[in-house]
Amino acid sequence: MTATHVDGHQVVSDSPTQSPIRTKDGEVIWWPQTRTPLLADGSTVFGCAHCDYTNLNPLSIRPHLGKHTMKKTPTDVAPPTLGGITVAELVQRLSEAETVRTDRDQWKTRALAAEKSLRVLRKALGVTA
């Protein structure tokens, strides 16, 4: 927390805020971004870990934290990679694979037809393979 004074009182200590919820095991959950500063007069408030925003309500800090999120612009985002290749390379490879698959299917159809014709000829000539 960056605030050194709150409502004219000096901040004596600053600690993470205990959440009102618990884990399944009953352990305490701490909100590290919501701080609980102890003031010189003995009172406590709740504050943001990133700036000097404070409030008496601890639940008001969580919505405030949205102001500190860094929005990534499209230029900041790196193109996703899969196994060391980019999405563009993957699309190119898939396109090539589809072409090979189409050619294979055409040749397979022709080969099956040729085998059928060969069987018919062998049967007609009485030749055993």
pLDDT tens figures, 78-129: 666 677 888 888 889 999 999 999 999 999 999 999 999 999 999 999 877 6
CA–CA gap between residue 19 and residue 5 (Å, rounded): 24
Cβ contacts of 46 within 8 Å, gap of 6 or more: 17, 34, 35, 36, 54, 55, 56, 57, 58, 60, 61
Q: What is the pTM of this model?
A: 0.50
Q: Specify the 3-state DSSP secondary structure of 125.
A: helix
Residue 72 has pLDDT above 60, yes or no: no
What pLDDT, on the 0 to 100 scale, is given for residue 92? Answer: 92
What are the pLDDT digits (tens) for 17-65? 888 888 888 888 888 888 888 889 988 898 888 888 888 888 888 888 8
Strand 54-55 with 81-82, pairing: unpaired
Which tokens sit at 116?
Answer: 């059928």
The answer to whether residue 88 is domain-embedded is yes
Structural domain span for residue 42: 5-68
Clarify whether residues 47 and 14 are in a common domain. Answer: yes
Clarify whether residues 63 and 10 are in a common domain. Answer: yes
Clarify whether residues 20 and 59 are in a common domain. Answer: yes
CA–CA gap between residue 11 and residue 13 (Å, rounded): 6
